Amino acid sequence: MRFGFHHGRERGHECGGRHGGPRGWGRGFGGGWGGMHPGREGGRGRRMFDGSELRLVLLKLIEEQPRHGYDLIREIEERSGGAYAPSPGVIYPTLTMLDDMGLVEAKAEGTRKAFAITEAGTAELKEKAAEVEALFQRLAALGEHQARTSGGPIRRAMGNLRAVLQERLGGSEVDPETLHAVADILDEAARKIERL
């Protein structure tokens, strides 16, 4: 399934992607301005956190409030100013691991799962409070750096667009009317940008 992003012409952005299936939106849009890669995990081809660090980051965000996987991706991307967006292929296995470790528990909300912290998860955060603080300082510093660059706001907006497309079109069944409506919105945005 393809739909155009620019004046109705197909640009090869498919609903299937690197991570397989319709959730291939997780890698964002590639490309970029001046070497930037909106939505790409770890910014320029590197990971910002290793596995154990990402577990702590997710656990801390879940402590703030119960969250879905999509919410966690969007929150991390926003805090990094759009420079870092962990992919669904990284987020969901990590959430499953946290669940298996008893640090979070999944609660069904319609067709999605929201994750809430457990007492064991709270204890884990207290035990590693200094490390957690350092990880979030690293994330905040990256966000501040991005805000100082001319591409920061664009990267953030592209990240938000990627996340919304992933959430809205990530299901196994998306009706043709929805696909055409999304394509129309994106085409109109492209036309407006061209006229700037």
The sign of the torsion formed by the CA atoms of 36, 41, 47, 48 equals positive
pTM above 0.85, yes or no: no
Could you report the per-residue pLDDT of 28-50, keeping only the tens digit for each?
Answer: 333 333 333 334 444 334 568 88
Share of the chain above pLDDT 90, in %: 36
| Sequence-ordered list of residues with C-beta below 8 angstroms from that of 68, at least 6 positions apart, any chain | 109, 112, 113, 114, 115
Q: Residue 152 has what pLDDT? A: 59
The answer, yes or no, to whether residue 2 has pLDDT greater than 80, is no
Q: How far apart (Å, rounded) are the C-alpha atoms in residues 180 and 194? A: 21
- Contact 39/165 with Cβ under 8 angstroms? no
Q: At what angle do helices 69-79 and 51-64 cross, to 10 degrees?
A: 100
Q: Rounded to an integer, what is the distance from CA 112 to the centroid of its chain?
A: 16
Among the listed residues 76, 71, 24, the one whose alpha carbon sits nearest the alpha carbon of residue 47: 76
Neighbour-count burial for 28-61, b at 16+ CB within 10 Å, e otherwise: bbeebeeebbbbbbbbeeeebbeeebbbbbbbbb
pLDDT band of 178, cuts 50, 70, 90: confident
The answer, yes or no, to whether residue 17 has pLDDT greater than 70, is no
Q: Residue 22 has what pLDDT? A: 35
Q: Residue 48 has what pLDDT? A: 80
Q: Residue 60 has what pLDDT? A: 96
Could you report the per-residue pLDDT of 112-124, keeping only the tens digit for each?
Answer: 889 999 999 999 9
The answer, yes or no, to whether residue 97 has pLDDT greater than 80, is yes
